[in-house]
């Protein structure tokens, strides 16, 4: 049996005083004894065979307190949270107010709770129309890319390197006569004109022949990520092994037949346009939604606890660590490569983390204010969409989600709220014919692309 009282503290904190009856405490002590008896020694007894009372006389009953509380507290705390209706956003700080055999166990839990949101205007918000009609030029660019993706690379033996060739080379870089980490490689493939290497490197390869060796002189950019190489002159000794030139397929119906399900080039181009328009529509929708949600968040007032922002920063850094694994490095190696301290790295995410938390809280407040909920029909529709997307049976999709159904409901709820806000928004004329049109939701932190680029370029 649990009794609880609540005290409102400053800084979005609540103090719960949780009273747990002696019988429940005794059950916890019994479980603590069973867990620990094999590791407790008392003279004259074999380990694991010492009666509890003997252990308590020898060591004191306090020997079982910690594990007893660990057994009792989670359920007692959950009951206290439900009874008081608070919404914790961080782990509680727990203290013991009273403990002992035959007594009530009294624990206090100080916890940061979700703040109240004071919504501003959220209906009738002006949003710039980001819709874009795909142009003939964009279709042409997509076709060129498709041709390029299906190109063959032909060995060249009768000429020197030209722009847009692909070469295989060895290189070894040095600054002031000393090689530097990451400045050497063997059998490296490089497309001339790709801009992958330091400015001036690729240009100096033009005119070289297979098996030719040469020293290239380049200067590292002033904004290069490695502090000790910024603005420095370097010499790269290079050797070309082979040269290949790109041979594009002919632009005709045969290309369409060989690379798609279409019989003619015209049908293939029509499908390209359809797919480009779908992507453009999705991009426009995302852009307008982000713009709208940001404006609504800016209109709202909320005092966000530091703990919520810190938790969001941790989540963002965890995502970065996960992505770095694909580059074969850990976070510490990345920090060393970019000459960034752990403190500065965390600070880069502060503004974005705060904004994300605020947006999440504001959207939850709008959902609550409008009484938006997820119905069984909403859930069934989503399962059907997922089944069609992944070419699976609907029942199998449901089985795969299992205990993650709450996550799916949260996603549906968020989209229903966003859809409602978009219907209430006022569209204004935006910038037309923008191929990108995307508006960054986050500001003040490195993008995924920049993190991966920093890693892949480290040492080059």
Task: Flag whether 47 is in a domain.
Answer: yes
Residues 332 and 434 in one domain: yes
Q: Considering its fold, how many domains does the chain have in total?
A: 3
Angle, CA of 55, 58 and 62, to the nearest 5°: 70
Read off the DSSP letter of residue 441.
S
Q: How confident is the model at residue 435, as a pLDDT? A: 46
List the CATH number of the domain containing 167. 3.10.50.40
Interacting residues of 119 by C-beta distance below 8 A, sequence separation 6+: 299, 300, 362, 365, 366, 369
The stretch 106-127 carries a mean pLDDT of 96
> 107: left (phi > 0), else alpha (psi -120 to 50), else beta?
beta
Task: Flag whether 267 is in a domain.
Answer: yes
Q: How confident is the model at residue 242, as a pLDDT? A: 96
Q: pLDDT tier at 199 (50, 70, 90 boundaries)? A: very high
Residues 337 and 425 in one domain: yes
Residues 379 and 283 in one domain: yes
Closest-CA residue to 12 (of 94, 82, 96, 87): 87
448 has pLDDT over 50? no
Neighbours of 308 (CB within 10 A): 22
Q: Cα torsion at 145, 271, 264, 135 (round to 10°)?
A: -60
Task: Report how far residue 251's alpha carbon sits from residue 144's, in angstroms, rounded to the nearest whole number.
Answer: 9
460 has pLDDT over 60? no
Residues 291 and 190 in one domain: no
Task: Flag whether 122 is in a domain.
Answer: no
pLDDT tens digit string along 140-149? Answer: 999 999 999 9
Residues 286 and 427 in one domain: yes
pLDDT tens digit string along 373-425? Answer: 999 999 999 999 999 988 899 999 888 887 788 899 999 999 999 999 999 99
pLDDT tens digit string along 419-442? Answer: 999 999 999 986 654 444 444 444
Map residue 394 onto helix, strand or coil. Answer: helix
Residues 197 and 233 in one domain: yes
Task: Name the residue range of residue 26's domain.
Answer: 2-114
Task: Report how far residue 87's alpha carbon sits from residue 78's, in angstroms, rounded to the nearest whole number.
Answer: 11
Q: pLDDT tier at 67 (50, 70, 90 boundaries)? A: very high
Residues 282 and 421 in one domain: yes
Q: pLDDT tier at 444 (50, 70, 90 boundaries)? A: very low
Question: Cα-atom radius of gyration of the chain, to the nearest Å?
Answer: 32
Which of these ranges, 197-206, 400-409, 451-460, has the smallest mean pLDDT?
A: 451-460
Question: What's the mean per-residue pLDDT of the chain?
Answer: 91
pLDDT tens digit string along 234-277? Answer: 999 999 999 999 999 999 999 999 999 999 999 999 999 999 99
Closest-CA residue to 114 (of 351, 367, 358): 358
Task: Flag whether 146 is in a domain.
Answer: no
pLDDT tens digit string along 43-60? Answer: 999 888 999 999 999 999
Q: How confident is the model at residue 218, as a pLDDT? A: 95
Residues 285 and 243 in one domain: no
């Amino acid at each position: 049996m649990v009794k609880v009282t609540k005290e409102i503290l400053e800084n979005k904190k609540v103090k719960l005083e949780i009273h747990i009856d002696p019988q429940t405490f005794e059950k916890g002590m019994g479980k603590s004894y069973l867990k620990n008896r094999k590791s407790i020694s008392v003279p004259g007894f074999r380990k694991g065979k010492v009666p509890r009372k003997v252990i308590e006389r020898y060591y004191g009953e306090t020997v079982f307190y910690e594990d007893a509380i660990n057994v009792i507290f989670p359920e007692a705390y959950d009951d206290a949270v439900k009874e008081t209706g608070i919404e914790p956003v961080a782990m509680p700080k727990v203290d013991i107010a009273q403990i002992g055999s035959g007594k009530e166990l009294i624990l206090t839990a100080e916890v940061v709770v979700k703040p109240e949101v004071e919504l501003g205007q959220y209906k009738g918000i002006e949003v710039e129309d980001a819709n874009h009609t795909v142009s003939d030029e964009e279709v042409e660019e997509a076709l060129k890319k498709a041709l390029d993706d299906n190109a063959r690379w032909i060995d060249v033996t009768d000429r020197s390197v030209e722009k847009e060739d692909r070469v295989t080379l060895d290189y070894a870089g040095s600054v002031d006569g000393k090689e530097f980490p990451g400045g050497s490689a063997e059998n490296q493939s490089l497309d001339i004109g790709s801009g992958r290497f330091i400015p001036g490197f690729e240009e100096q390869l033009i005119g070289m022949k297979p098996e030719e060796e040469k020293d290239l002189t380049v200067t590292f950019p002033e904004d290069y990520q490695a502090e000790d190489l910024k603005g420095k002159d370097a010499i790269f000794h290079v050797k070309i092994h082979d040269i290949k030139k790109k041979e594009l397929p002919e632009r005709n119906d045969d290309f369409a037949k060989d690379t798609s399900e279409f019989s003619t080039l015209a049908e293939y181009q029509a499908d390209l346009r359809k797919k480009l328009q779908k992507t453009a529509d999705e991009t426009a929708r995302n852009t307008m939604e982000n713009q709208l949600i940001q404006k609504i968040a800016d209109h709202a007032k909320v005092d966000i606890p530091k703990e919520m922002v810190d938790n969001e920063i941790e989540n963002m850094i965890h995502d970065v660590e996960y992505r770095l694994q694909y580059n074969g490095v850990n976070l510490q190696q990345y920090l060393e490569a970019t000459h960034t301290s752990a403190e500065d790295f965390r600070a880069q995410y502060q503004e974005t983390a705060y904004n994300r938390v605020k947006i999440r809280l504001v959207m939850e407040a709008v959902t609550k204010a409008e009484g938006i909920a997820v119905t069984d029909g909403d859930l069934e529709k989503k399962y059907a969409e997922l089944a069609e997307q992944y070419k699976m049976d609907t029942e199998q999709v449901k089985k795969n989600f299992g205990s993650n159904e709450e996550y799916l409901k949260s996603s549906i709820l968020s989209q229903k709220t966003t859809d409602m806000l978009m219907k209430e928004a006022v569209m204004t004329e935006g910038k037309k014919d923008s191929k990108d049109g995307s508006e960054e939701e986050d500001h003040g932190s490195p993008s995924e692309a920049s993190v991966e680029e920093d890693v892949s370029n480290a040492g080059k």
